[in-house]
Amino acid sequence: MEIVDKLLNHSRLALSKAITAVENEYDDAVKIMTEIYPHTGNAYVIGITGPPGAGKSTLTDKLAKEYRKRGKTVGIVAIDPTSPYSGGAILGDRIRMMDLTADEGIFVRSMATRGSLGGLSQKAGDAVKLMDAFGMDVIIVETVGVGQSEVDIVKTADTTMVVVIPGMGDDIQAIKAGILEIGDLFTINKADREGTDKLNIEIEMMLELNPEHVGWRPPINRTIASKGEGIEAVVDSIEAHKAYLIDSGKLNDIRKKRIKNEVEAMLNDRVNRYIDKEVIQTQEFDDLVVKMQSREIEPYSVVDDIVGKVLK
């Protein structure tokens, strides 16, 4: 395909158009991804998550610059939520990254979460693959750490970094917030604020109680991203984690798991769409709902019947 050839020849326009094709589910999207697939698997993927206002975009901007200093090219997928009311979105991550537009070694793509159908994680994953095939060495996926689909995205990264800031609540918040469990490294941003030491201790304590981290203990770095302070140490930590994953053979496991998750998501998506079109949107189903409402029939056997027909 022409667009794929151009993308592989480093056309930024072709990369951009290819991501749009995936995002909007154009007819040629599957063909593009099929042709791209053999050229993927080379980039190192970093997931960045954390609460709104933690400074993820600013940190991403600074990390990208640090990676450029170290001679790496960088792709960034910055995800912001779609309004559930209007379907519109304000994608404001780029405002922190406008400096990066002057650098040909960096490509930033903003993505809205849109609806649940079609799977954000799948589309973000495809955007990562397209940047990977384009030849980006490092790809950063940045998203707010609320909601399963966002967590799913960063979970599939090679290295996942959780960004936290002081003053967000006591240690109970740290225990209950699920995102703290997925961090391979932690960054306390805005570390010139009061409460940084306390937050540091709370994360330490949480890590002590977490039995999963055998062999790699997530480091805790402090940054003031807006001033560019502490950025080198964060990149050093990411590189240390990468070295650990390679030496221990775990990188292979992570990537195998990623492929498994991706295919599972694709299968689920296909089945969901099929059920939506062939079952939910039919008159027959509406009639069944009316019968269930009047208690003529019950939903359990209806589900059995439908599953029996769909999965025959």
Partner 1 sequence: MANVKVLVAKPGLDGHDRGAKVVARALRDAGFEVIYTGIRLTPEQIAEAALQDDVNVVALSLLSGAHNTLFPKVVELLKEKGLNDVLVIGGGVIPDADIPGLKAAGIAEVFTPGTPTSKIVDFINANVK
Q: Is 248 in the site for partner 1 (CB under 8 A)?
A: no
Minimal distance, residue 275 CB to partner 1, in Å: 18
Q: Which is nearer to partner 1, 103 or 181 (CB)?
A: 103
- C-alpha 142/C-alpha 246 separation (Å) is 23
Q: Is 101 in the site for partner 1 (CB under 8 A)?
A: yes
Beta strand 138-144 with 74-80 is: parallel
Query: Taking the CB of residue 88, how many other CB atoms lie within 10 A of it?
Result: 8
Q: Is 89 in the site for partner 1 (CB under 8 A)?
A: yes
- C-alpha 299/C-alpha 268 separation (Å) is 22
Q: Is 243 in the site for partner 1 (CB under 8 A)?
A: no
From 19-27, 47-55, 177-185, 215-223, span contacting partner 1 (CB under 8 A):
19-27
Q: Is 94 in the site for partner 1 (CB under 8 A)?
A: yes
Q: Which is nearer to partner 1, 58 or 221 (CB)?
A: 58
From 33-41, 45-53, 107-115, 294-302, span contacting partner 1 (CB under 8 A):
107-115
Q: Is 36 in the site for partner 1 (CB under 8 A)?
A: no
From 102-110, 132-140, 162-170, 172-180, span contacting partner 1 (CB under 8 A):
102-110
Tokens representing 132 are 């990977």
Q: How many residues touch partner 1 (CB under 8 A)?
A: 32
- C-alpha 87/C-alpha 8 separation (Å) is 33
Q: Is 114 in the site for partner 1 (CB under 8 A)?
A: yes
Q: Is 172 in the site for partner 1 (CB under 8 A)?
A: no
Tokens representing 159 are 């290295």
Identity (one letter) of the amino acid at 53? G
Minimal distance, residue 228 CB to partner 1, in Å: 19
Please name the helix (run of DSSP H) or strand (run of DSSP E) that holds residue 109, with its range, or none.
Answer: strand 106-112
Q: Is 10 in the site for partner 1 (CB under 8 A)?
A: no
Q: Which is nearer to partner 1, 114 or 255 (CB)?
A: 114
DSSP string, 17-76: HHHHHHHTT-TTHHHHHHHHGGG-S-SEEEEEEESTTS-HHHHHHHHHHHHHHTT--EEE
Q: At what angle do helices 299-310 and 283-293 cross, to 10 degrees?
A: 160
Tokens representing 63 are 């990390």
Residues that bind partner 1 (CB under 8 A): 12-13, 16-17, 19-20, 24-26, 82-83, 85-92, 94-95, 98, 101-102, 107-110, 112, 114-115, 118
